[in-house]
Structure 1
């Protein structure tokens, strides 16, 4: 006699959380390959838009890439250290002193440069994978916060004293693999501009064009968009496309050589994507409800995002030993 043991809800949630964590880490790793980064830079930044993907790969991506290493919230311990105000220091500051018990890390950070300009243009790029595109606040505001932190932390490394002219431009690029249907296949840019009220402009854009937030909402891999970068990422993150088809399309359509290591990461993404789909929408909603209750989100927001009744949410809260948040 074969006995089939059904997992409890909390066991399903543990599985889902583990798979989501693996999916997130695998997604980050895929985005660190130069071939993928080059496509993102060409499509999402004006500084690289005129260059070929091959040129960006070969000449513009030479620095180290940080993956979940750098804290967003940080303070520098030694405020008295002074550096030569005319000297630039390569590399990102790796110290991370958290000022919050819940440390938040940038998903991916790296530097990119254009070596053929009179004075090489150097940018600091932050890439983020956002599985939930409705986290309870506009993503663009978090993106600007990340940009502001990346600018402020340049003091003491990129510039010191009052050499603000040495500030390097920053980008925070957010990739949403599973946005709401009405937002699928869209790219949105947010940046600072000069608004002349009266008089003749005298400041060059390089002086104020110092931060940009870009949000990429992906769509379906089987439906072509008008932009190659969306088609590339749609294929890469598709939960329904087989590993073989992904590798074929990446090789044929986007000229990304399928090395053994890269093929392995693509295979892992496919396996994890299929696992998440197989768990079903109800399990995803259940996990989301648990996370929102744990974070003490307002009751009406939890109902909106999960579609559960108050009674259902009370049962979930009870199994967690928590009180259901009030409206």
Structure 2
């Protein structure tokens, strides 16, 4: 089978979804399928074309993720008639992949990592215009008539159906982790209370709640420390976070870490008392699944797929508010957690489901 992936990012770009699709493409190639990937050239040192582990990769030069929607089309079109299936993901890679598939008559598949709908209008850090623009673009992508829609959780599958996708076109395939990476890890929190946020600087991640909650915790637990493990980009979002640290007078109780190696990241996580994930929504949440795999307690908003991926020791916000989160931080500082069974989402199962899906 000839399989064409049109993906906004692909390894060596670091991310859970990127790791999944990198291993999926290589596994397919190893099984004798012919695999091509069209993606962004996010670093100037990366070759425009290369073959890695049997996968033919073409990288598109574009400094803006939205430009990829236009600039990737010529490459996608040239490979479309070669392909038996074109597989893409939300959001910016979807339009060129769908158009190339439609014009060539090739089967088109999209993986939806999440769908927010009206939530866009409730999120912080966005202007009214930005919120509406993103909402309209998301709806545009959803309305593109793909042949199949892969949802990465039960929550995402339900959301797609509720928003008009035919149920028979939706298949749920969970994202997966390589649990061998977590073998031998031991949660050994430092003395005191160190609570950690790690992940991208997204408007949905609940940082507008976490930082004020940290200010509230400082009043009763002045020795507690917030760890922010975040990228430097988007620069505007990082500037807002730094501004909030000063406005709330919590810089003295906050550590900020950028661009850590995997080893350093896991060391900071394993020595944290807990990880905080106050997201407004999650379609799967690799951060939650990885934290649970390391045996670290989680404070979660409980929104979206977090009810599926969070297990072990946890606390769940009753409402999306600073008061609710601050209350849970105080409970966590006292070691007062709830528990529930842990569900494992293995990379092996995820890849097996995808390969079986292609063969249908």
Normalised to the residue count of structure 1, the TM-score between the two structures is 0.29
Larger Rg: 1
Which structure shows the bigger proportion of residues in strand conformation?
2
